[in-house]
A and B are shown apart, each in its own frame.
Chain A
Amino acid sequence: MMTGQHGSQPIQHQFNPYSDNGGTLLGIAGEDFAILASDTRQSVDYSINTRLSHKIKAISPSLTAEFKAQNPKMIGTKNSILFGTNGFSADGDALTRQFEENWKWYVHDQNKSAMSMQSAARNVQHLLYGKRFFPYYVHTIICGLDEEGKGCLYSFDPVGSYEREQCRVGGAGASLIMPFLDNQVNFKNQYIPGTNSTERRKVDYLSLDECLKLVKDAFTSVTERHITVGDGLEIFIIDKNGVRCEYHDLKKD
């Protein structure tokens, strides 16, 4: 083999198993509800693959005819788990399908109606860490209700490190939205007026309407400034009545 001269090196081809599909995923846990939202754009580099991709799946026990009749707009029961992934969407889809299969076998084998949030979270950790040396390139957030009926959210890094939190943003817009959520959900840097910054504003649960406003504000803001975020906003809401999904348009430029 010749070396040193320009153009004399053999051309090397390398397969890159990953790509970045952009987008943003956002979850907030309330007192008796949880919401998980994402934009619906899927892109690679500067190209848009689709304006309506789904990064969140509601994994739910099958709906009875009675439930459907009573709640025509609900797409899942209160035992559901909202499963969201963001990053490399092929890995996200693979992880979602794998978790859904685990969930189905679990309720079948254990003869249960659903899986608890903490069990789901631990299972997701095992799925992610199982591929420690060829990771799923995703930021994962799952939402649901815990065993007391309280809003519950777990977020994961690509290799399965996880934590239960009140709110979390993942993906391309995370660095833009996360400080906003610190400020507006956990009231960071907010003090009681007149106390000379000695008394912090007490953290309290936000209502569902307040949370939905924050989510819409966060996504319209990040859509303005980030090129891979936009097109549509899909918001999944889980509470004691079940799961429902809202869609709102975002800017398509």
Chain B
Amino acid sequence: MSQQDPSTINGGIVVAMTGKDCVAIACDLRLGSQSLGVANNFEKIYQYGKVFIGFTGLATDALTLSSDLKYKHNLYKLKENRGIQPEVFANLISSTLYEKRFGPYFSTPVVAGLNEKTGEPYVAGFDCIGCIDAARDFIVAGTASDQLFGMCEALYEPNLEPEDLFETISQALLNAADRDAISGWGAAVYMITKDKVTKTYLKTRQD
């Protein structure tokens, strides 16, 4: 097989948005091998305490990275005797990725959570060697990131209530995925507020 781009073999997208005292993070459910669909239940979002992380890119690296971060999160809890804050987790991811500066993981993670002290919503994205993009509005990642940028830039407005933020992030994800052949096949949306986290599966096109 000829040389290929590792970050677009498996396909998939993640998007995160901030709202009023809430954050949302969503992913599609497809796992593919180029044009071949392999699984429609491949969730890309993991929970670490009250922090949520979505991994896009090469699936094997995403899985490795998610396990490595689970290990590091457990150690953090044992040493510090407290939950990890999203800002701290973002820096942990950054240094984890930069350790592999010259042979990187082909994965671009997205962090979403609420700071437990301040209650401030926090989202952050990374490139595959750990450069943090701590945007105040939204973060997109994956094979349909162009489409997501277009959707988010047009639909997003600041300080949305959870119900409206849910609709916004869902429409952004769904319509972006429908213009990408290797994203879609189902979707999951997490809505995170101070005292509640809801997970919703969306009904999507199956082509």
Contact = CB atoms under 8 A, between A and B. Distances in A.
A179 B203 contact: no
Contact of A176 (B146, B155, B171, B203): B146
A179 B176 contact: yes
A221 B151 CA distance: 9
Nearest to A169: B150
B34 interface: no
A175 B175 contact: no
Contacts, number: 52
5 contacts: A177-B150, A178-B179, A179-B175, A180-B154, A221-B154
A189 B202 CA distance: 10
Interface string B161-178: 000000000010011101
B136 to A, nearest CB: 14
Interface string A184-200: 00001110000001000
Interface residues of B, number: 15
A222 B149 CA distance: 8
A172 to B, nearest CB: 10
Contacts of A218: 154
B175 A189 contact: yes
A249 interface: no
A232 to B, nearest CB: 19
Contacts of A190: 171
Interface of B: 146-147, 149-151, 153-155, 171, 174-176, 178-179, 203
B66 to A, nearest CB: 28
A22 interface: no
Contacts of A160: none
Contact of A182 (B149, B153, B175, B203): B175
A225 to B, nearest CB: 5
Nearest to A224: B153
Given A188-B175, A189-B174, A179 B151 contact: yes
Interface string A24-63: 0000000000000000000000000000000000000000
